[in-house]
Every structure is written in C-alpha cells, then in structure tokens.
Amino acid sequence: MSSLVHRTCPIVLSAPSGAGKTTIARALVRDSEDVVFSVSATTRPARDGEADGVDYDFLSETVFRAMIEADEFVEWAEVHGHLYGTSRRALQAALDEDRFLILDVDVQGAMQMRERVPDVVLVFVLPPSADALVERLAERGTEGEDTVAQRIENARAELEQASRFDYIVINENLDQAIEEVRSIVSAEGRRADRAIDLSDRIRQLQAQIDRILAEDFVSPRK
Ligand code: 5GP
C-alpha cells in the first residue's frame, strides 16, 4: 500500500544556549530532504564562520524594527541583548514546498509560535548536566566573559519552560539526540490529523471490503 500524503508542519527546537540544538537542527536538515532550516533574522553581529543568509540574515536594528512594524515576523524576541525573529515569508515558503521547517528559537519565540501557529510542534533540548552546558558555552569562545555569564543565567530561567513543550530530548549523545528528533519529525508526519488523503483511502478500503463481502468471501460457518 502506498503511503498517505501528509501536511508538513513547523518544528521548533528550543534549548538553553550550549545545549547543542543548533548542531542537532543542522544535522537533521543535512540528512533529510523533507526538512529545511528556518534562517532567522538577527541584529547580533556575525561570528567567525557564519554566513549571511545561511546562518542568519544579519540585519541592522533599524531594518529589524521596520520589519516588526510591517508585521513581517511570525515571532520575534530579544535574546541576550539582540533581536531575533522568524519571517512569515520563510515559514510559508517551507510549508508550501511540503517540507518540515526546523526553527531554532528561544523559549519566548517557541511560546509565540504556539499561540500563532496551531500546527507547530515544540521540542525542548536539555543538556545532560550543568557542567556540560557551561563547558560548551566556554569552549565556543565567541562571547566575552559577560555574555557567557549572561547566557548561563538565561539558561537557568529557560529551563523553567521545558514542561510547556511537546517533547523533551536530552542531548547526552549527539547522534542519539539527532535520531530522537528525527523520530519525532517522522511520527508527527504520520499523524492521522495531518493525512490529507486519509478519508479517500478509508473509503477505498471500505469499498474493497464491500466487494469482498459481496462477491468472494464465503464464511466458513455458512
Ligand atoms: P545565537 O546568538 O547563539 O545564535 O542564538 C541565541 C539564541 O537566540 C538561541 O537561543 C536561539 O535559539 C535564539 N534564536 C535564534 N533565532 C531566533 C529567532 O528567530 N527567534 C527567536 N525568538 N529566537 C531565536
């Protein structure tokens, strides 16, 4: 039997900085044709190795604020002193292509998505330990001391929101965490309420059963 046709949906990955969610999101997109990464806009300066339009759309605060005014973001938030947002256009383009859109956003953005996009699936990535979190942030070496401290403090507050998410993945082992998020995407893509052609398929099966009952089927008891 061929598979059903399903609507795709946006999948939000949130986590405290340093929990590894960006690595998970990127790996998922690299290995799955039906998953695309949502490139956010931000006013944060690009880090070494980051490319405009690939990692983020790096915008000035003036441009970002004009986009807020024009209601171009489906969600946006201030995180660690910079503005970050997901454009409505990018969200719609991915869904129009029947691809799952992975959004790497903070918990404020995740909650806005829940309010505004009923179909969204929220995944929270937990670090295996506080030490691992601090180590990853320090290793990254892209922020000054203050910013690392600020991020650790924010991480503590963000953990409060974990229970509001649909799924929790603990990133103890990266490959396993990627596999777990992949299976969430896969399961969500099989939900009955996302199957566009389910009622046609059921009607077809019922019609086939009716034919079997009427023509071929001889009950052993008769
Ligand atoms: P970073 O500066 O380390 O790339 O990201 C900092 C935080 O901003 C991360 O928690 C990341 O998930 C979040 N972030 C990135 N893009 C967006 C976005 O479009 N919207 C919101 N709300 N948060 C975002």
Q: How confident is residue 67, by pLDDT bands cut at 50, 70 and 90?
A: very high
**Domain containing 212: what range?**
195-222
Residue from 78, 105, 140 to probe ligand 1 pocket by mutation (most atoms less than 8 Å from CB): 105
Mean pLDDT within 20-38: 91
Specify the CATH number for the domain of residue 32.
3.40.50.300
**If you take atom 17 of ligand 1, which residue's CA is the nearest one?**
105
Under a CB-based contact definition with an 8 Å cutoff, are residues 12 and 118 in contact? no
Please report the pLDDT score of residue 102 as a whole number. Answer: 95
Distance 204 CA to ligand 1 centre (A): 46
Distance 16 CA to ligand 1 centre (A): 10
Same domain, residue pair 112 and 211: no
> How far apart, in whole angstroms, are the C-alpha atoms of residue 218 and residue 202?
23
What's the structural domain count of the chain? 2
Q: Which atom of ligand 1 is nearest to the CA of 86?
A: 19
What is the percent of the chain with per-residue pLDDT over 70, rounded to a whole number?
94
Same domain, residue pair 132 and 161: yes
Same domain, residue pair 135 and 185: yes
Least confident of 88-97, 112-121, 141-150: 141-150
Q: How confident is residue 149, by pLDDT bands cut at 50, 70 and 90?
A: confident
CA distances from residue 124 to 113, 133, 220 in whole angstroms, order as listed: 14, 15, 54
Distance 58 CA to ligand 1 centre (A): 12
The set of protein residues with a Cβ atom below 6 angstroms from ligand 1 is 17, 40, 44, 75, 77, 79-80, 84-86, 104-106, 108-109
> Per DSSP, which regions of 19-158 are E strands?
35-37, 40-42, 56-58, 73-79, 82-87, 100-104, 121-126
Same domain, residue pair 93 and 160: yes
For residue 96, pLDDT beyond 70: yes
Same domain, residue pair 87 and 18: yes
- 1 assigned to some structural domain: no
- 153 assigned to some structural domain: yes
pLDDT digits (tens, 9 = 90+) for 185-210: 999 989 998 888 899 999 999 999 99
Q: How confident is residue 80, by pLDDT bands cut at 50, 70 and 90?
A: confident
Query: What is this structure's pTM?
Result: 0.89
Please report the pLDDT score of residue 30 as a whole number. Answer: 92
Please report the pLDDT score of residue 217 as a whole number. Answer: 65
Same domain, residue pair 51 and 67: yes
- 6 assigned to some structural domain: no
**If you take atom 24 of ligand 1, which residue's CA is the nearest one?**
105
Same domain, residue pair 86 and 117: yes
For residue 147, pLDDT beyond 80: no
Q: Which atom of ligand 1 is nearest to the CA of 112?
A: 22
